[in-house]
Amino acid sequence: MARSNDNAYWSTDAGWRTASNTQFERIGVPGQYHSAITWTGGLLALTGSKYGYGAILISGSAIDGVVTIAGGDAISLANIEKNRLLPFGVSELSGSASAGGAVYLFKRQQ
């Protein structure tokens, strides 16, 4: 008697058990965000493959930079509350962070 997952028409398991077919690919990613970038300085334009980052979290105190949100307005990172996830549609980051300071950007699910 054949096992229930054997198939006489395919020589493989039809892809449902392959290593590339993860649980996230089959049923989706839980939560609102699925990727993150850590920024510690320089210019970061969130276009092309980096499009879709919809939340920001600032860690550390000595961060000298500017975040440009999707509508084009620029906000100094010094004026944004630290250690709190804020739902900004970020289009660009520029400036620098001291040792221990970083900005985390989270990519939203579409």
* Number of CB atoms found within 10 A of residue 40's CB: 16
Looking at residue 30, what is its pLDDT? 77
Looking at residue 60, what is its pLDDT? 81
Flag residues of the chain having pLDDT under 70: 1-20
Looking at residue 92, what is its pLDDT? 94
Domain chopping of the chain, boundaries: 29-108
Strand positions, DSSP E, 1-110: 33-39, 41-45, 53-59, 63-69, 74-76, 90-97, 102-108
As given in the structure block, the two tokens for residue 40 are 């510690």
Measured between alpha carbons, how far is residue 27 from residues 23, 68, 70, 83, 95 in Å? Answer: 6, 34, 30, 31, 39
CATH topology of domain 29-108: Jelly Rolls (2.60.120)
Single pTM value for the model? 0.72
Looking at residue 20, what is its pLDDT? 63
